[in-house]
Amino acid sequence: MAKRVAVILSGCGVYDGTEIHEASAVLVHLSRAGAKVQMFAPDADQMHVVNHCEGKPTGEKRNILQESARIARGDVTDLAKLDVSAFDAVIIPGGFGVAKNLSDWAVKNKNCTIQPHLEKLIKDFHKAGKPLGMCCISPVLAAKLLPGCELTVGQDKECEKWPYAQTAGAMKDMGCKHVNKDVDEAHVDIKNKLVTTCAFMCNAPFHKVFDGIGVMVQETLKLA
C-alpha cells in the first residue's frame, strides 16, 4: 500500500520561501517510491519578499500559500487543514522560508517560536509515532520542539564547504545531539523517528544534494 506523505512548503525561493531544488528532489524521490503526496503551506503573508537577483528585501507582500502553489503546480492546501491521521509521514524541505515563515529562527535563532499550526502538527506526528523528514535548515524545527533529539545539519566546523556550520552549535546549545554527516548522507534518530540531511547547508553540487535528500526520503518511508 502506498505511503501517504504530507510535504510542508514555506513559499517559493531560497531566500524567502522553500528551496525549490530541495522541494523538487523530495517530490521526485517520493514519486519514485510510489508515495501518495499532498502539499501544504500556511495561508499567511511571508515575513518579507526578497529580490533573488540582489538578495535584498523589497516592499512587496506575498502570501505563503499562493507562492507555494508555484512549486505544487497549483495543488496545495492550507496547512490548517492538515489532518495527521490521514498521513503516514511528513517531510519539510528547507529554504529561508522555514526560518522566516514557518518560524522566526532568522530573527531569534535558538529563542525562536514556531508557526502555531506547524508546532501542533509536528508534536502530533511525533506523538502518533509517525516519522518526520527534514532537510537543510528545517531540522531547527525539530530541535525546538523535540528536546534531546538527534539530527544533522551537516558539519560543525565552518569552512568554504560548510558556511553554515555554526547552526550545529546552536543545535547543541538547544540540548540536541548533532551528528556530523556529509551531504549525501542522512541521520536517523530511531527513538524520535526523525530523519535529517543537510542539503544546501553544504556548498555541494546539485546532484549530491539530490542524492542526500533521496536517502532522507527513503529512510523516512522505511519508518512509516
Known catalytic residues are: 136
Cell of 54: 540582489
Q: Among 32, 20, 165, 161, which residue's Cα sits nearest to residue 94?
A: 20
Measure the N-to-C terminal CA separation of the chain; round to a whole number of Å: 11
Hey, is 20 helix, strand or coil?
Answer: helix
Hey, is 214 helix, strand or coil?
Answer: helix
Q: How many CB atoms lie within 10 A of CB 113?
A: 12
Q: Among 108, 107, 158, 162, which residue's Cα sits nearest to residue 136?
A: 162
User: Measured between alpha carbons, how far is 168 from 44 in angstroms, rounded to an integer?
Assistant: 29
Hey, is 63 helix, strand or coil?
Answer: strand
Q: Among 46, 110, 42, 115, which residue's Cα sits nearest to residue 76?
A: 42
Cell of 208: 549530491
Write the Ramachandran bin of 10: left for phi over 0, alpha for psi from -120 to 50, otherwise beta: alpha
Write the Ramachandran bin of 29: left for phi over 0, alpha for psi from -120 to 50, otherwise beta: alpha
